[in-house]
Amino acid sequence: MNKFSSSIAVLVFSIVSLTAQNNADAQKVIDKLTTSIQTTAVKTNFELLITEKNAVNSQPVLGTFVMKANKFTLDVNETKAWFDGKTQWTYLRTDNEVTITEPTVDELAQINPMIILASFKVKSWVRFGKTKSANAILIELVPKNKKDDFTKIEVLLDKKSTTPKNIRIVSKNKSVTSLKMMNYRQIDNLPAETFTFNKNKYKNTLINDLR
């Protein structure tokens, strides 16, 4: 091997090694985020926006959610939802009606994109993306299996605290779900019934069980 070829080989090896290290560092950031959610409950205000493939935006949805591991409760306008990891209860205040379902991963992603991060990271390539903000870092998760429902997930985090600021999910059907989080914080001492519907607190409620 001549000197030129040797130099090219060293350069290529260096680039590959640097990329691998960057990907490993990106994986550590996502691991830290998902681990914190598994062990400690979090609460945040949010703005949820879904853009269909024809570029028509839905109206932004503002609300609050509490989450721990794969469970959450969500409060939006006239709707409140609870998810215990399998079953979801969706309560409409105006109708005094609760609908019970077992949502799919795709349905959960449109309600609370945070919930799918832990399961999605293990079957994705994780890497740093480019962001214009000097105070943020962007992590991209790209599925290894092209048959997955999503083509990419982008997680924008505060550079100093590594708390999430925005999650953007691009679906195979070209729709985009964007979750902007404000006042993200950890909370302690959650009641046991936080993530389930307590019928004793909602008298004379119509039950619509779709399981």
Confidence of residue 99 (pLDDT cuts 50, 70, 90): very high
Tell me which architecture the domain covering 3-209 has in CATH: Clam (2.50)
Domains in the chain: boundaries: 3-209
Say yes or no to pLDDT of 20 above 50. Answer: no
**pTM higher than 0.75 for the full model?**
yes
Asked if pLDDT for residue 14 goes beyond 50, the answer is: no
The CA distance from 166 to 182, in Å, is 9
Per-chain mean pLDDT for the chain: 82
pLDDT value of position 13: 37
Residue 23 pLDDT > 80, yes or no? no
Q: What is the pLDDT of residue 189?
A: 83
Instruction: Out of 32-36, 46-50, 52-56, 107-111, pick the least confident.
Output: 52-56
202: which DSSP letter?
S
What is the C-alpha separation between 66 and 184, in angstroms, rounded?
A: 10
Provide mean pLDDT across the span 64-89: 90
Radius of gyration of the chain (CA): 20
User: Could you count the other beta carbons within 10 Å of the beta carbon of residue 166?
Assistant: 17
pLDDT computed for residue 136 by the predictor: 92
Given a cut of 60, whether residue 18 has pLDDT beyond it is no
Contact 154, 12 (CB under 8 A): no
Rounded distance between C-alpha atoms, residue 138 and residue 175, angstroms: 20
Q: Decide if pLDDT at 117 tops 50.
A: yes
Higher pLDDT, 106 or 144: 144
162-197 pLDDT, tens per residue?
Answer: 889 998 888 888 888 888 999 999 898 888 789 999
Q: Cβ neighbours of residue 156 under 8 Å, at least 6 residues apart?
A: 131, 133, 136, 137, 138, 164, 165, 166, 167, 168
Cα distances from 104 to residues 31, 49, 85, 108, 193, in angstroms, run 23, 19, 11, 6, 22
Spatial separation of the C-alpha atoms in residues 167 and 155, rounded to whole Å: 5
